Amino acid sequence: MSTSSAYSGAFDRLVAGIVPYVPQPIVRRLAQPYVAGTTLDDAVRTVRELNAAGLQATVDVLGEAVRDAATASAAADSCIRALDVISAEALGATISVKPSAVGSELSWEIAGGQIERVVRRAEELGSFVCIDMEDSGSTDHTLALFRRLREAGHTQVGTVLQARLWRTAADAAALAPLRPTIRLCKGIYQESPAVAMHDRDAIRRSFSRILRLLLGAGAFVSVATHDEELIVDALDAIDKTGVAPDGYEFQTLLGVRPDLARVLARDHTVRLYVPFGPDSYAYSQRRLRENPQIAGYVARDVLRAFARSVRRPPTQPPYGGTQ
Protein backbone atom coordinates (compact mmCIF):
# COMPACT_ATOMS: atom_id res chain seq x y z
CA MET A 1 0.00 0.00 0.00
CA SER A 2 1.36 3.48 -0.87
CA THR A 3 1.95 6.03 1.92
CA SER A 4 -0.67 8.38 0.45
CA SER A 5 -3.36 5.67 0.32
CA ALA A 6 -2.46 4.65 3.90
CA TYR A 7 -2.92 8.28 5.01
CA SER A 8 -6.19 8.72 3.11
CA GLY A 9 -7.44 5.41 4.50
CA ALA A 10 -6.70 6.61 8.04
CA PHE A 11 -8.41 9.94 7.29
CA ASP A 12 -11.49 8.16 5.87
CA ARG A 13 -11.76 6.03 9.00
CA LEU A 14 -11.45 9.16 11.16
CA VAL A 15 -14.21 10.95 9.23
CA ALA A 16 -16.45 7.88 9.19
CA GLY A 17 -15.97 7.79 12.94
CA ILE A 18 -17.08 11.44 13.43
CA VAL A 19 -20.36 11.35 11.48
CA PRO A 20 -22.43 9.22 13.90
CA TYR A 21 -21.73 11.82 16.63
CA VAL A 22 -22.83 14.82 14.57
CA PRO A 23 -26.25 15.99 15.83
CA GLN A 24 -29.18 15.05 13.53
CA PRO A 25 -30.19 18.65 12.65
CA ILE A 26 -26.61 19.38 11.50
CA VAL A 27 -26.53 16.16 9.45
CA ARG A 28 -29.84 17.11 7.80
CA ARG A 29 -28.69 20.65 7.05
CA LEU A 30 -25.33 19.61 5.61
CA ALA A 31 -26.94 16.83 3.57
CA GLN A 32 -29.54 19.06 1.89
CA PRO A 33 -27.79 19.06 -1.52
CA TYR A 34 -27.95 15.24 -1.62
CA VAL A 35 -31.74 14.95 -1.17
CA ALA A 36 -34.44 16.37 -3.48
CA GLY A 37 -36.81 17.09 -0.60
CA THR A 38 -39.44 15.34 1.47
CA THR A 39 -42.28 14.92 -1.08
CA LEU A 40 -42.81 13.36 -4.50
CA ASP A 41 -43.50 16.89 -5.81
CA ASP A 42 -39.98 17.87 -4.69
CA ALA A 43 -38.53 14.91 -6.59
CA VAL A 44 -40.58 15.72 -9.70
CA ARG A 45 -39.34 19.33 -9.63
CA THR A 46 -35.72 18.14 -9.37
CA VAL A 47 -36.14 15.59 -12.17
CA ARG A 48 -37.70 18.25 -14.42
CA GLU A 49 -34.68 20.51 -13.85
CA LEU A 50 -32.27 17.65 -14.54
CA ASN A 51 -34.15 16.64 -17.70
CA ALA A 52 -34.06 20.25 -18.91
CA ALA A 53 -30.26 20.11 -18.48
CA GLY A 54 -30.07 16.92 -20.57
CA LEU A 55 -29.72 14.55 -17.58
CA GLN A 56 -31.77 11.45 -16.70
CA ALA A 57 -32.76 10.38 -13.17
CA THR A 58 -33.40 7.33 -11.04
CA VAL A 59 -35.75 8.22 -8.21
CA ASP A 60 -35.41 6.60 -4.78
CA VAL A 61 -38.15 6.79 -2.15
CA LEU A 62 -36.00 7.09 0.98
CA GLY A 63 -36.49 4.62 3.78
CA GLU A 64 -34.74 1.49 4.98
CA ALA A 65 -34.71 -1.10 7.75
CA VAL A 66 -38.52 -1.40 7.65
CA ARG A 67 -39.64 -4.12 10.04
CA ASP A 68 -43.42 -4.47 9.55
CA ALA A 69 -45.39 -5.72 6.57
CA ALA A 70 -47.78 -2.74 6.38
CA THR A 71 -44.92 -0.20 6.14
CA ALA A 72 -43.15 -2.41 3.56
CA SER A 73 -46.30 -2.48 1.45
CA ALA A 74 -46.77 1.30 1.83
CA ALA A 75 -43.17 1.84 0.67
CA ALA A 76 -43.85 -0.23 -2.48
CA ASP A 77 -47.04 1.80 -3.02
CA SER A 78 -44.92 4.98 -2.87
CA CYS A 79 -42.60 3.58 -5.56
CA ILE A 80 -45.62 2.75 -7.73
CA ARG A 81 -47.02 6.27 -7.21
CA ALA A 82 -43.65 7.68 -8.27
CA LEU A 83 -43.68 5.48 -11.40
CA ASP A 84 -47.22 6.64 -12.24
CA VAL A 85 -46.27 10.31 -11.91
CA ILE A 86 -43.04 9.85 -13.90
CA SER A 87 -45.11 8.29 -16.69
CA ALA A 88 -47.95 10.83 -16.54
CA GLU A 89 -45.49 13.72 -16.69
CA ALA A 90 -43.31 12.00 -19.32
CA LEU A 91 -40.19 12.50 -17.19
CA GLY A 92 -36.82 10.97 -18.06
CA ALA A 93 -36.61 8.89 -14.91
CA THR A 94 -36.65 5.33 -13.59
CA ILE A 95 -36.88 4.00 -10.01
CA SER A 96 -34.42 2.57 -7.48
CA VAL A 97 -35.58 0.42 -4.55
CA LYS A 98 -33.73 -0.70 -1.42
CA PRO A 99 -34.79 -4.21 -0.33
CA SER A 100 -34.77 -3.15 3.33
CA ALA A 101 -37.27 -0.35 2.50
CA VAL A 102 -39.77 -2.98 1.39
CA GLY A 103 -39.26 -5.46 4.21
CA SER A 104 -36.13 -7.58 3.61
CA GLU A 105 -35.24 -7.33 7.31
CA LEU A 106 -38.62 -8.87 8.02
CA SER A 107 -38.49 -11.52 5.30
CA TRP A 108 -36.97 -11.74 1.84
CA GLU A 109 -40.19 -13.33 0.62
CA ILE A 110 -42.10 -10.17 1.58
CA ALA A 111 -39.47 -7.87 0.06
CA GLY A 112 -39.35 -9.98 -3.12
CA GLY A 113 -43.14 -9.85 -3.48
CA GLN A 114 -43.19 -6.06 -3.04
CA ILE A 115 -40.34 -5.50 -5.50
CA GLU A 116 -42.05 -7.76 -8.07
CA ARG A 117 -45.19 -5.62 -7.70
CA VAL A 118 -43.14 -2.48 -8.44
CA VAL A 119 -41.38 -4.15 -11.39
CA ARG A 120 -44.75 -5.21 -12.87
CA ARG A 121 -46.01 -1.63 -12.76
CA ALA A 122 -42.74 -0.38 -14.28
CA GLU A 123 -43.20 -2.85 -17.13
CA GLU A 124 -46.77 -1.72 -17.75
CA LEU A 125 -45.49 1.87 -17.99
CA GLY A 126 -42.35 1.12 -20.02
CA SER A 127 -40.09 2.11 -17.12
CA PHE A 128 -37.35 0.35 -15.17
CA VAL A 129 -36.48 -0.66 -11.58
CA CYS A 130 -32.97 -0.98 -10.12
CA ILE A 131 -32.69 -3.04 -6.94
CA ASP A 132 -30.10 -1.19 -4.85
CA MET A 133 -27.43 -3.23 -3.07
CA GLU A 134 -27.14 -2.85 0.69
CA ASP A 135 -24.60 -4.39 3.10
CA SER A 136 -22.86 -7.68 2.33
CA GLY A 137 -25.32 -9.64 4.50
CA SER A 138 -27.91 -8.97 1.80
CA THR A 139 -25.82 -9.72 -1.32
CA ASP A 140 -26.83 -13.39 -1.77
CA HIS A 141 -30.52 -12.59 -1.28
CA THR A 142 -30.49 -9.56 -3.57
CA LEU A 143 -28.73 -11.41 -6.40
CA ALA A 144 -31.04 -14.43 -5.96
CA LEU A 145 -34.08 -12.12 -6.11
CA PHE A 146 -32.75 -10.41 -9.24
CA ARG A 147 -32.12 -13.79 -10.90
CA ARG A 148 -35.57 -15.05 -9.92
CA LEU A 149 -37.23 -11.97 -11.42
CA ARG A 150 -35.27 -12.34 -14.65
CA GLU A 151 -36.06 -16.06 -14.83
CA ALA A 152 -39.76 -15.23 -14.32
CA GLY A 153 -39.53 -13.19 -17.54
CA HIS A 154 -39.13 -9.68 -16.09
CA THR A 155 -36.75 -7.67 -18.23
CA GLN A 156 -37.23 -4.18 -16.77
CA VAL A 157 -35.19 -4.86 -13.67
CA GLY A 158 -31.52 -4.49 -12.82
CA THR A 159 -29.34 -4.56 -9.74
CA VAL A 160 -26.05 -3.31 -8.32
CA LEU A 161 -22.60 -4.84 -7.91
CA GLN A 162 -20.10 -3.40 -5.42
CA ALA A 163 -16.51 -3.51 -6.69
CA ARG A 164 -15.02 -3.50 -3.20
CA LEU A 165 -16.41 -6.92 -2.23
CA TRP A 166 -13.96 -9.78 -2.78
CA ARG A 167 -16.78 -11.90 -4.17
CA THR A 168 -17.98 -9.48 -6.85
CA ALA A 169 -15.87 -10.60 -9.83
CA ALA A 170 -17.30 -14.10 -9.37
CA ASP A 171 -20.84 -12.69 -9.00
CA ALA A 172 -20.40 -10.68 -12.22
CA ALA A 173 -19.18 -13.76 -14.08
CA ALA A 174 -22.13 -15.80 -12.80
CA LEU A 175 -24.66 -13.13 -13.88
CA ALA A 176 -23.01 -12.42 -17.25
CA PRO A 177 -24.99 -15.04 -19.27
CA LEU A 178 -28.19 -13.14 -18.36
CA ARG A 179 -26.76 -10.01 -20.10
CA PRO A 180 -28.00 -8.12 -17.06
CA THR A 181 -28.44 -4.42 -16.45
CA ILE A 182 -25.94 -3.68 -13.69
CA ARG A 183 -25.06 -0.53 -11.80
CA LEU A 184 -21.39 -0.89 -10.93
CA CYS A 185 -20.25 1.14 -7.90
CA LYS A 186 -17.47 0.91 -5.31
CA GLY A 187 -19.86 0.09 -2.43
CA ILE A 188 -20.66 2.34 0.51
CA TYR A 189 -21.28 -0.03 3.41
CA GLN A 190 -18.64 -0.58 6.06
CA GLU A 191 -17.43 -4.17 5.71
CA SER A 192 -14.74 -6.26 7.37
CA PRO A 193 -11.45 -6.89 5.54
CA ALA A 194 -12.50 -10.52 5.14
CA VAL A 195 -15.44 -9.39 3.00
CA ALA A 196 -14.26 -6.22 1.28
CA MET A 197 -11.11 -4.51 0.04
CA HIS A 198 -10.03 -1.48 2.04
CA ASP A 199 -7.23 -0.22 -0.17
CA ARG A 200 -8.43 2.51 -2.59
CA ASP A 201 -6.23 1.38 -5.47
CA ALA A 202 -7.29 -2.25 -5.07
CA ILE A 203 -10.96 -1.17 -5.20
CA ARG A 204 -10.25 0.81 -8.36
CA ARG A 205 -8.53 -2.15 -10.01
CA SER A 206 -11.44 -4.39 -9.06
CA PHE A 207 -13.92 -1.86 -10.52
CA SER A 208 -11.97 -1.70 -13.76
CA ARG A 209 -11.73 -5.48 -14.05
CA ILE A 210 -15.44 -6.08 -13.37
CA LEU A 211 -16.46 -3.29 -15.75
CA ARG A 212 -14.52 -4.96 -18.58
CA LEU A 213 -15.97 -8.37 -17.71
CA LEU A 214 -19.55 -7.00 -17.84
CA LEU A 215 -19.11 -4.93 -21.00
CA GLY A 216 -17.43 -7.88 -22.71
CA ALA A 217 -20.42 -10.07 -21.84
CA GLY A 218 -22.88 -7.60 -23.39
CA ALA A 219 -24.35 -6.41 -20.10
CA PHE A 220 -25.82 -2.90 -19.91
CA VAL A 221 -23.57 -1.17 -17.38
CA SER A 222 -24.34 1.96 -15.38
CA VAL A 223 -20.92 3.25 -14.39
CA ALA A 224 -21.75 4.77 -10.99
CA THR A 225 -18.77 6.74 -9.73
CA HIS A 226 -17.46 10.30 -9.31
CA ASP A 227 -13.87 9.06 -9.32
CA GLU A 228 -12.23 10.75 -12.31
CA GLU A 229 -9.60 8.04 -12.64
CA LEU A 230 -12.33 5.40 -12.93
CA ILE A 231 -14.33 7.51 -15.36
CA VAL A 232 -11.33 7.87 -17.66
CA ASP A 233 -10.73 4.14 -17.36
CA ALA A 234 -14.41 3.46 -18.18
CA LEU A 235 -14.21 5.69 -21.26
CA ASP A 236 -11.23 3.64 -22.39
CA ALA A 237 -13.07 0.34 -21.74
CA ILE A 238 -16.18 1.58 -23.60
CA ASP A 239 -14.00 2.62 -26.53
CA LYS A 240 -12.05 -0.63 -26.67
CA THR A 241 -15.12 -2.87 -26.26
CA GLY A 242 -16.90 -0.90 -29.02
CA VAL A 243 -20.10 -0.83 -26.99
CA ALA A 244 -22.83 1.30 -28.61
CA PRO A 245 -23.96 4.55 -26.92
CA ASP A 246 -27.20 2.86 -25.81
CA GLY A 247 -25.26 0.00 -24.19
CA TYR A 248 -24.04 1.88 -21.10
CA GLU A 249 -24.53 5.04 -19.08
CA PHE A 250 -22.84 6.99 -16.33
CA GLN A 251 -24.57 7.53 -13.00
CA THR A 252 -23.86 10.07 -10.28
CA LEU A 253 -25.53 11.08 -7.02
CA LEU A 254 -27.62 14.22 -6.67
CA GLY A 255 -25.44 16.89 -5.04
CA VAL A 256 -22.11 15.23 -5.87
CA ARG A 257 -19.90 16.66 -8.63
CA PRO A 258 -22.67 18.29 -10.73
CA ASP A 259 -19.91 19.70 -12.94
CA LEU A 260 -18.82 16.16 -13.81
CA ALA A 261 -22.37 15.08 -14.71
CA ARG A 262 -22.76 18.07 -17.03
CA VAL A 263 -19.45 17.45 -18.80
CA LEU A 264 -20.13 13.72 -19.29
CA ALA A 265 -23.67 14.44 -20.55
CA ARG A 266 -22.26 16.22 -23.59
CA ASP A 267 -21.33 12.83 -25.09
CA HIS A 268 -22.95 10.13 -22.92
CA THR A 269 -26.18 9.28 -21.14
CA VAL A 270 -25.91 10.41 -17.51
CA ARG A 271 -28.46 9.45 -14.86
CA LEU A 272 -28.58 11.05 -11.41
CA TYR A 273 -29.76 9.23 -8.30
CA VAL A 274 -32.53 11.41 -6.86
CA PRO A 275 -33.59 10.39 -3.35
CA PHE A 276 -36.57 11.99 -1.64
CA GLY A 277 -38.74 11.42 1.42
CA PRO A 278 -38.98 12.39 5.07
CA ASP A 279 -36.78 9.49 6.19
CA SER A 280 -33.43 10.85 4.93
CA TYR A 281 -31.18 10.47 7.99
CA ALA A 282 -29.39 7.17 7.21
CA TYR A 283 -28.84 8.13 3.56
CA SER A 284 -27.55 11.57 4.57
CA GLN A 285 -25.11 10.06 7.07
CA ARG A 286 -23.64 7.82 4.36
CA ARG A 287 -23.22 10.77 1.96
CA LEU A 288 -21.56 12.93 4.59
CA ARG A 289 -19.18 10.13 5.48
CA GLU A 290 -17.93 10.23 1.89
CA ASN A 291 -17.70 13.97 1.54
CA PRO A 292 -13.98 14.84 1.53
CA GLN A 293 -14.77 18.25 3.07
CA ILE A 294 -16.98 16.87 5.83
CA ALA A 295 -14.59 17.52 8.69
CA GLY A 296 -14.33 21.21 7.68
CA TYR A 297 -18.09 21.55 7.15
CA VAL A 298 -18.92 20.04 10.51
CA ALA A 299 -16.33 22.15 12.32
CA ARG A 300 -17.67 25.35 10.66
CA ASP A 301 -21.29 24.42 11.41
CA VAL A 302 -20.57 23.62 15.05
CA LEU A 303 -18.55 26.87 15.45
CA ARG A 304 -21.39 28.89 13.87
CA ALA A 305 -23.94 27.31 16.22
CA PHE A 306 -21.61 28.06 19.15
CA ALA A 307 -21.20 31.71 18.02
CA ARG A 308 -24.99 32.09 17.72
CA SER A 309 -25.51 30.70 21.23
CA VAL A 310 -22.88 33.10 22.65
CA ARG A 311 -24.49 36.14 20.94
CA ARG A 312 -28.06 35.21 21.97
CA PRO A 313 -29.20 36.52 25.44
CA PRO A 314 -29.81 33.64 27.86
CA THR A 315 -33.41 32.34 27.66
CA GLN A 316 -35.61 32.10 30.76
CA PRO A 317 -37.18 28.71 31.49
CA PRO A 318 -40.92 28.88 30.56
CA TYR A 319 -42.19 28.61 34.14
CA GLY A 320 -39.33 30.31 36.01
CA GLY A 321 -36.77 28.48 38.17
CA THR A 322 -33.37 27.27 36.97
CA GLN A 323 -32.60 25.53 33.67
Of 77, 227, 279, 301, the one binding ligand FAD by CB under 6 A: 227
The string over 40-67, giving b where at least 16 C-beta atoms fall within 10 Å of a residue's C-beta and e elsewhere, is beebbebbeebbeeebbbbbbbbbbebe
Distances in whole angstroms, Cα of residue 167 to Cα of each of 27, 90, 110, 174: 33, 39, 26, 11
> 74 or 256: whose CB is closer to ligand FAD?
256
Closest CA to 269 of 246, 252, 253: 246
Count, residues near ligand FAD per rule CB under 6 A: 24
> 60, 121, 132, 164: which is the annotated catalytic residue?
132
What's the closest the beta carbon of residue 315 comes to ligand FAD, in angstroms? Answer: 35
Angle at 61 between CA 58 and CA 66, to 5 degrees: 135
Is-contact 128 155, C-beta < 8 A? Answer: no
Residues 262-321 that bind ligand FAD (CB under 6 A): 273, 287, 290-292
What's the closest the beta carbon of residue 16 comes to ligand FAD, in angstroms? Answer: 12
Other C-beta atoms lying within 10 Å of the C-beta of residue 291: 19
What's the closest the beta carbon of residue 5 comes to ligand FAD, in angstroms? Answer: 11
Query: What is the rounded CA–CA span in Å between residue 84 and residue 281?
Result: 26
What's the closest the beta carbon of residue 271 comes to ligand FAD, in angstroms? Answer: 7
Has 132 been annotated as catalytic? yes
> 121, 150, 164, 183: which is the annotated catalytic residue?
183
Is-contact 111 103, C-beta < 8 A? Answer: yes
Which range binds ligand FAD by CB under 6 A, 121-129, 218-226, 236-244, 303-311? 218-226
> 33 or 216: whose CB is closer to ligand FAD?
33
Closest CA to 185 of 150, 211, 166, 167: 211
What's the closest the beta carbon of residue 214 comes to ligand FAD, in angstroms? Answer: 16
What's the closest the beta carbon of residue 226 comes to ligand FAD, in angstroms? Answer: 3
Q: Does position 133 bind ligand FAD by CB under 6 A?
A: yes
Q: Who's near 19: CB < 8 A, 6+ residues apart?
A: 27, 285, 288, 289, 294
Of 65, 188, 202, 282, the one binding ligand FAD by CB under 6 A: 188
- DSSP 8-state symbol, 204: H
- DSSP 8-state symbol, 253: E
Is-contact 123 156, C-beta < 8 A? Answer: yes
> 222 or 310: whose CB is closer to ligand FAD?
222
Has 183 been annotated as catalytic? yes
Residues in contact with ligand FAD, shown as a per-residue x/- string from 32 to 51 under the rule CB under 6 A: --------------------
Q: Does position 204 bind ligand FAD by CB under 6 A?
A: no
Q: Does position 84 bind ligand FAD by CB under 6 A?
A: no
Q: Active-site residue numbers?
A: 132, 183
Q: Which residues bind ligand FAD (CB under 6 A)?
A: 132-133, 160, 162, 183, 185-189, 224-227, 251-253, 256-257, 273, 287, 290-292
